[in-house]
Amino acid sequence: MEIFTKRIAIQTSRLYDFVEITDEVQKAVSESRIKDGIVFASALHNTAALIIQEDDSTVHRDLINTLERIVPLKGKYEHDMEGNVNATAHLKSNLLGTFVTVPLKDGRLVLGTWQRLFFVELFEPRRREVVVTVVGE
Amino acid sequence: MEIFTKRIAIQTSRLYDFVEITDEVQKAVSESRIKDGIVFASALHNTAALIIQEDDSTVHRDLINTLERIVPLKGKYEHDMEGNVNATAHLKSNLLGTFVTVPLKDGRLVLGTWQRLFFVELFEPRRREVVVTVVGE
Amino acid sequence: MEIFTKRIAIQTSRLYDFVEITDEVQKAVSESRIKDGIVFASALHNTAALIIQEDDSTVHRDLINTLERIVPLKGKYEHDMEGNVNATAHLKSNLLGTFVTVPLKDGRLVLGTWQRLFFVELFEPRRREVVVTVVGE
C-alpha cells in the first residue's frame, strides 16, 4: 500500500467556469504508479465546487440556472461584504460539495461512460488549487 | 493494509426507485476479510444518486417532493434531448451526490442506528453499477 | 501504511448549531501519528450534516435561510411523526451531506485558508457522534 499526493493549480476565467480536470487527475494517478485503490480530489475553497458530471454544456447551464433559482443573486444575504456573487458562492459550494472520490483500477480512474470531473468556479476568475490523493497498491 | 474492489449490479424498476444496498455493501466488505478501515461506494452514473438515509418511505417521498420542487419537471431545460426527466436527473444527481464514505470497524460498516445506504434512480428503469472499494487491515 | 479511528462526541445546543470540529479532528490526526494520507469524518446521523465552510456566522445564517427556503418549515411533509423540524432535517441532511474528506500532509489537515469543518445540527439539541478515520503513513 502506498500513498501519493499532488497539487493541481487551476486558473478560472469567469463565474461558472466549468474546468474539466479528469485528465489532470488521471495524470497525477499515472505519476503515482499506483494501480488499484482509490483517488480523492479536494478543492481548497469555499466559493467553488468539485463535481462529477457529463461534459455537456447544456447540463452545465441547467445546473447554473438551478443554482440561480435556489440562491438568487438578487436575494438578501447577510454575508454581503464582498457582494451577492460571493455570498451565493458559499451556499452553492455547500450544495454541490468540494471533494470527490473515484475508484482506481489497473491504473485508470473508474468512471461511468459519461462521467467527468469538473472544478466549478462559483465566484470570480481566480487561481485555485485542488489536492489529489491516491491510496492503493 | 489491503485493498479490495467489487462491482455491484443494480436493476432499478422505476424513476425514484430507492434501492437499499447496505446489505450488498456489507457482503462485499465481508468478502474482503478487511476488518478495520474505510469503505467507499460510487455510482457510475450522472442520472442517479447514492445517499445515506433512513429506511422510511415517508422520508423518501419527502425527498422526492423536495427535488421536484427544486427542479420542477415542467421547467424549461437546455439539456432537452432526452426529455425533462433526464434533464432534471442530472441536476438532482449533483444535489444529492453519487458516492458515499463509511467507516469500517471489526468487519462491520459503522453507521448510525437509522442510517442505511440507498441507490436512488433519478431517471428511468436501468441496469446500474456501483463500485465498492474497501481499504484497511 | 496505517489506519486509525476515533469517535468524537458532540453535544449540540440547538437547531442550527454550527459546531466547529476542525481542532478535534486535527487532534485525532495528531494522536494517530500518521503524517501523510487522507482523513475522513462521518456523522452517524440522518438529521445533521458535516460540512466544510468558513467560520463566519453571516455565511452560516445565509445557509440556514437557504435551507429554510428550499424545505420550508411550514410545508407539508409525509414524515410528520416527529414534526416538521425533524422531517426537514432529513432533507437538509441529504442536501448538505454527512461526511467529508480532507487530505493530510506533514501531520496537518490540508484545508484552504478559510476552510473549517462544521458539524451542523439540523434537528434539536442532541448528543451526536462523528467517526474520524485516518489512512496513511
- pLDDT, tens only, A48-78: 999 999 999 999 999 999 999 999 999 999 9
pLDDT at C129: 98
Contacts of B99 in chain A (CB under 8 A): 52, 100-102
Q: Which chains touch B (3 or more CB pairs under 8 A)?
A: A, C
Strands (E), chain C: 2-11, 18-20, 37-43, 48-53, 99-105, 108-109, 116-121, 127-136
pLDDT at B20: 98
CB contact under 8 A, A36 and B95: no
**How far is Cα C87 from Cα C73, in angstroms, rounded to an integer?**
9
**In this structure, which topology does domain C15-104 adopt according to CATH?**
Jelly Rolls (2.60.120)
Closest Cα partner for C101 from C135, C60, C64? C135
Yes or no: say if B117 and B41 are a contact pair by the CB < 8 Å rule.
yes
In a 3-state reduction of DSSP, which class is residue C28?
A: helix
Q: Which residue of C has its CA nearest to A94?
A: C96
Q: Does A98 touch chain C (CB under 8 A)?
A: yes
Sign of the Cα torsion C69, C71, C77, C80 reads negative
- How far, CA to CA in Å, does A47 sit from each of A44, A84, A122, C49, C118? 9, 12, 6, 19, 16
Q: CB-based contacts of A76: which residues, under 8 Å, 6+ apart?
A: none
Q: Which chains touch C (3 or more CB pairs under 8 A)?
A: A, B
| Residue in A40, A44, A92, A119 to test binding to C, most C beta-carbons within 10 Å | A44
Instruction: Tell me the average pLDDT across B19-48.
Output: 98
Contacts of C45 in chain B (CB under 8 A): 112, 115
**How far is Cα B118 from Cα B131, in angstroms, rounded to an integer?**
14
The H or E element containing residue A90 is helix A84-96
Enumerate residues 38 to 57 of chain A having a beta carbon within 8 A of any beta carbon in chain B.
Answer: 38, 51-54, 56
pLDDT at C51: 98
pLDDT band with cut points at 50, 70 and 90 for residue B2: very high
Residue B56 CA to its chain's centroid (Å): 15
CB contact under 8 A, A54 and B46: yes
Q: Which residues of chain C have pLDDT under 70?
A: none
Residue B32: is it exposed, middle or buried by C-beta count within 10 angstroms (0-12/13-18/19+)? buried
Residue C91 φ then ψ, to 5° = -70, -45
In a 3-state reduction of DSSP, which class is residue A94?
A: helix
**How far is Cα B104 from Cα C133, in angstroms, rounded to an integer?**
9
Enter the CATH code of domain B9-136: 2.60.120.460
CB contact under 8 A, B3 and A56: no
pLDDT at B29: 98
- CB-closest option in B61, B101, B135 to C99: B101
In a 3-state reduction of DSSP, which class is residue B40?
A: strand
Contacts of C40 in chain B (CB under 8 A): 38, 101, 103
| Sheet containing strand A48-53, strands side by side | A18-20, A116-121, A48-53
Query: How close A10 gets to chain C, by Cα (Å)?
Result: 14
Closest Cα partner for A45 from A12, A67, A13, A70? A12
Task: Kindly provide the ipTM of the predicted complex, given to two decimals.
Answer: 0.97
**How far is Cα A10 from Cα A20, in angstroms, rounded to an integer?**
10
Domain boundaries, chain C: 15-104
What does the pLDDT look like over B73-96, one tens digit per residue? 999 999 989 999 999 999 999 999
Residue B53 CA to its chain's centroid (Å): 10
**How far is Cα C19 from Cα C63, in angstroms, rounded to an integer?**
14
pLDDT at A49: 98
- CB-closest option in A63, A110, A137 to B94: A63
pLDDT at B14: 98
CATH class in words for A2-136: mainly beta
Q: Does A82 touch chain B (CB under 8 A)?
A: no
pLDDT band with cut points at 50, 70 and 90 for residue B25: very high
CB contact under 8 A, C46 and B115: yes
Q: Does B61 touch chain C (CB under 8 A)?
A: yes
Q: Which residues of chain A have pLDDT under 70?
A: none
pLDDT band with cut points at 50, 70 and 90 for residue B13: very high
Closest Cα partner for C97 from C74, C120, C124, C63? C120
CB contact under 8 A, C3 and B136: yes
pLDDT at A53: 98
Count of CB pairs separated by less than 8 Å, B with C: 87
pLDDT band with cut points at 50, 70 and 90 for residue B46: very high
Site of grid cell 435556489: A70
In a 3-state reduction of DSSP, which class is residue C74?
A: coil
DSSP state of B72: -
CB contact under 8 A, C101 and A40: yes
Q: Which chains touch A (3 or more CB pairs under 8 A)?
A: B, C
